[in-house]
């Protein structure tokens, strides 16, 4: 059954709806973030088992700093404790963990745990798990442009070296293009998630809130992906369409 399915190489998930999940249950929004983090761990294993090679998740956007300090602080502590607590989980499952985003203004405490997990998992060749934390795609493009200008100024590259692949190699992480982007909770926007990488992705917007987006929901999403006809500017695969 699995063999017959086309498996996207790189999946992106905009994990939205944690707050609403909690509010609906009369809980604090932070309880939704905790439930979302628990769900992500299960989902990560399931997605790796399906044969996906790259998983990018949107954990915290540069814009999320606009939220109340208490919620931001809770999320930062959650990232810190989850990465620490799940250190063995990543090691045992040979998951290569990388982060995308700006380091400023993350605390030293959070940055140190991020660096530690990245360093310890860097040689794994199972799933690459890209956590977008303090991430915004528009600033990623700005930062990449500055980096490339510096290389040019230093005489390390010629103008003609700059092509789409070169830009990809110089984004926060050098990852292949996204094949499939899922945003939970029914919102129909990218909210500054991986614009360059998602230029030819397929999109799926289930109504389900992220803490409820379980393994079965992911399998449903895979079926949706399998019914898409990806043409990349070419012609229909199914000539009857």
Active site members: 16, 64
Output the smallest distance, CB 34 to Mg ion, in A.
Answer: 16
Ramachandran angles phi, psi of 55, nearest 5°:
-125, 120
Residue 135 binds which one of Mg ion, ligand IPE, none, with CB within 5 to 8 A depending on kind? none
Burial of 157 (0-12, 13-18, 19+ CB in 10 A): middle
Interface region with Mg ion, contact rule CB under 5 A, candidates 15-23, 47-55, 77-85, 151-159: 15-23
Spatial strand order of the sheet with 202-204 comes to: 96-100, 128-135, 54-61, 10-14, 180-183, 202-204
How many residues touch ligand IPE under the rule CB under 6 A: the total is: 17
Tally the residues of the chain: 241
Q: Is 40 helix (H, G, I), strand (E, B) or coil?
A: helix
Return the structure tokens found at 148.
């490339």
Interaxial angle between packed helices 69-85 and 108-121, expressed in degrees from 0 to 180 and rounded to the nearest 10: 30
Q: Does 15 bind ligand IPE (CB under 6 A)?
A: yes
Output the smallest distance, CB 100 to ligand IPE, in A.
Answer: 12
**How many CB atoms neighbour CB 75 within 10 A?**
20
Binding mask 184-213 for ligand IPE (x = CB under 6 A): -x-x-x-x----------------------
40 and 15 in contact (C-beta within 8 Å)? yes
Q: Does 74 bind ligand IPE (CB under 6 A)?
A: no
Output the smallest distance, CB 177 to ligand IPE, in A.
Answer: 20
Cβ closest to ligand IPE, residue 100 vs residue 121: 100
Q: Return the closest-CA partner of residue 200 out of 9, 5, 2.
A: 9
Residue 60 binds which one of ligand IPE, Mg ion, none, with CB within 5 to 8 A depending on kind? ligand IPE
Q: Does 35 bind ligand IPE (CB under 6 A)?
A: no
229 and 241 in contact (C-beta within 8 Å)? yes
Choose, by CB under 5 A, the member of 8, 14, 15, 16 that binds Mg ion: 16
Would you tell me which residues interact with ligand IPE (CB under 6 A)?
A: 14-20, 58-61, 64, 75, 185, 187, 189, 191
Judged by the rule CB under 5 A, the positions of this chain that interact with Mg ion are 16
């Amino acid at each position: 059954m699995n063999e017959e399915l086309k498996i996207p190489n790189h999946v992106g998930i905009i994990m939205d709806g944690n707050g609403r999940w909690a509010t609906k249950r009369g809980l604090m929004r932070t309880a939704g973030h905790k439930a979302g983090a628990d769900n992500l761990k299960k989902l990560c294993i399931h997605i790796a088992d399906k044969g996906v090679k790259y998983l990018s998740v949107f954990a915290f956007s540069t814009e999320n700093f606009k939220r109340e300090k208490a919620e931001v602080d809770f999320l930062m502590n959650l990232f810190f404790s989850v990465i620490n607590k799940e250190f063995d989980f990543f090691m045992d499952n040979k998951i290569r963990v990388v982060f995308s985003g700006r380091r400023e203004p993350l605390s030293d405490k959070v940055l140190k745990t991020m660096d530690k997990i990245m360093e310890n998992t860097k040689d794994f060749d199972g799933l690459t798990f890209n956590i977008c934390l303090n991430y915004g795609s528009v600033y990623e493009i700005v930062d990449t442009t500055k980096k490339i200008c510096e290389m040019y100024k230093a005489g390390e590259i010629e103008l003609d070296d700059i092509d789409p692949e070169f830009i990809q190699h110089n984004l926060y992480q050098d990852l292949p293009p996204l094949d499939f982007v899922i945003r939970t909770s029914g919102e129909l926007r990218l909210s500054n998630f991986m614009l360059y990488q998602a230029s030819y992705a397929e999109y799926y917007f289930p109504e389900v809130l992220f803490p409820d987006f379980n393994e079965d929901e992911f399998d449903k999403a895979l079926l949706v992906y399998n019914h898409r006809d990806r043409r990349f500017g070419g012609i229909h695969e199914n000539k009857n369409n």
